[in-house]
Homo-oligomer: A and B are copies of this chain.
């Protein structure tokens, strides 16, 4: 059975946790929508109700909120083989607080809420897939929420660079500052200090 390259990427991601028959693969693919986002344009904006959960097959995006002063706080960078979206708005159908903007022109596969619900009826083993996917994400967010309160900005930077070297090279220092939780000026100081060491 032959699928498009992007479909192989998502099937491969799913196969980490569950095994699908060819028929199930076809069914699953039929529930997905192909989406392209140009560099610097929005996949979604705060105030909208999220229509999809996304799997990235190509590119790089940032997910962020704006605080009351209008400063951005980036909650994740999403690159190839990552899942992203606003799970809260997707589930509750309430307006999102998040913006998702393409750092590079990107290609994604989206699953709509209706198809997400349908998926569990049609192929119940996707409950298991999402149980595992959410479990893994939960573990990393628990760790991250602890890092936020227990490490200094410099330590958070060093950690990030060690854990995601491929991402560091694709984003600006300014965006990294908005992820770490500091100003771009202080980020600049940290980087020159760390490089001097």
A186 within 8 A of B: no
Q: Which of A138-189 contact B (CB under 8 A)?
A: 138-139, 141-146, 148-151, 180-181
Say how far A87's CB is from chain B's closest CB, in angstroms. Answer: 6
Q: When the two chains form the complex, which single residue of B124, B141, B149 contacts A138, counting CB atoms closer than 8 Å?
A: B141
A65 within 8 A of B: yes
Task: Name which residue of chain B comes closest to A120, CB basis.
Answer: B128
Please give the count of copies of this chain that the complex contains: 2
Say how far A117's CB is from chain B's closest CB, in angstroms. Answer: 12
Q: When the two chains form the complex, which single residue of B75, B128, B149 contacts A127, counting CB atoms closer than 8 Å?
A: B128
A contact face: mostly helix, strand, loop, or mixed: helix
Interface core residue of A67, A125, A148 (most chain B CB under 10 Å)? A148
Residues in B with CB closer than 8 Å to A141 are 138, 141-142, 145
Please, how many residues of chain A have a CB less than 8 angstroms from a CB on the other chain?
32
Q: Which of A42-101 contact B (CB under 8 A)?
A: 65, 67, 71, 73, 75, 87-88, 91
Residues in B with CB closer than 8 Å to A145 are 75, 141, 144-145, 148
Q: When the two chains form the complex, which single residue of B131, B143, B144 contacts A131, counting CB atoms closer than 8 Å?
A: B131
Q: How far is the CA of A28 from the CA of B180 in the complex (A)?
A: 43
Residues in B with CB closer than 8 Å to A88 are 139, 142-143
Q: How far is the CA of A77 from the CA of B141 in the complex (A)?
A: 17
